[in-house]
């Protein structure tokens, strides 16, 4: 059975957004799952394209109404996947690409067990991950420390994913991700 929900998960800075963009540009009928969040919008981000930016109250109303497939609170902000676009993608035969944390990925697999392919993107090491986070220059030392602690937790879940790619060479990672996803969505 083809698996149309392709869920990417990785520690922050491991490359999942780059992999997601590549898959969206190379997989026919691929659409991106735009997550909902209560975190503040960063410069250049567009509501509805990068995230659905909600207040805490709006997000909690959606939780109560059952409008989220999954959600989690991370560093004081909610993140989650809206149910309606996910089910529309399945009905329309689209491949939906998700960029979510490990708990969100496992929740999607529980909600749609026959439709979901989980792909974990791992950094070569936590030291390399720290270098990448520092190169981005978008977070304080304290934020980087918290992200590295979370990364260690996230990496402990990778054995629950359908496949793992270690992102030590970007072109190899993109090629491997493309092949794995094509195989998952073309299963008979």
Whole-angstrom distance, CA of residue 114 vs CA of residue 101: 20
Mean pLDDT taken over the chain? 93
Cα 95–Cα 162–Cα 100 angle in degrees, nearest 5 = 60
User: What proportion of the chain, given as a percentage, has pLDDT over 70?
Assistant: 99
Res 2 pLDDT > 90? no
Cα 48–Cα 8–Cα 149 angle in degrees, nearest 5 = 100
Beta carbons within 8 Å of 64's beta carbon, 6+ residues apart = none
Residue 182 is predicted with a pLDDT of: 96
Delineate the domains of the chain, giving CATH numbers in brackets.
Answer: 5-185 (3.40.50.300)
pLDDT per position as a tens digit, 26-76: 998 999 999 999 999 989 999 999 899 999 999 999 999 999 999 999 889
pLDDT per position as a tens digit, 65-100: 999 999 999 889 999 999 999 999 999 999 999 999
Nearest partner of 34 among 110, 100, 92, 91, judged by Cα: 100
Nearest partner of 17 among 180, 182, 167, 184, judged by Cα: 167
Residue 5 is predicted with a pLDDT of: 97
Residue 74 is predicted with a pLDDT of: 83
Q: Does residue 134 contact residue 23 with C-beta atoms inside 8 Å?
A: no
């Amino acid at each position: 059975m083809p698996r149309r929900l392709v869920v990417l998960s990785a520690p922050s800075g491991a490359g999942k957004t780059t992999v997601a963009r590549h898959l969206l540009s190379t997989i026919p009928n691929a659409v991106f799952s735009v997550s909902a969040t209560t975190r503040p919008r960063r410069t250049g981000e567009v509501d509805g394209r990068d995230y659905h930016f909600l207040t805490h109250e709006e997000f909690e109303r959606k939780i109560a109404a059952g409008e989220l497939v999954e959600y989690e609170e991370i560093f004081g902000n909610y993140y989650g996947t809206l149910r309606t676009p996910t089910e529309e993608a399945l009905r329309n035969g689209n491949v939906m690409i998700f960029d979510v944390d490990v708990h969100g990925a496992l929740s999607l697999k529980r909600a749609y067990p026959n439709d979901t392919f989980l792909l974990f993107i791992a950094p070569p090491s936590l030291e390399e991950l720290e270098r990448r986070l520092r190169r981005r220059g978008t977070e304080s030392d304290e934020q980087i420390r918290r992200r590295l602690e979370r990364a260690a937790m996230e990496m402990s879940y990778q054995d629950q994913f359908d496949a793992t790619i270690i992102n030590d060479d970007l072109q190899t990672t993109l090629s491997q991700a493309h092949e794995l996803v094509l195989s998952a969505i073309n299963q008979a």
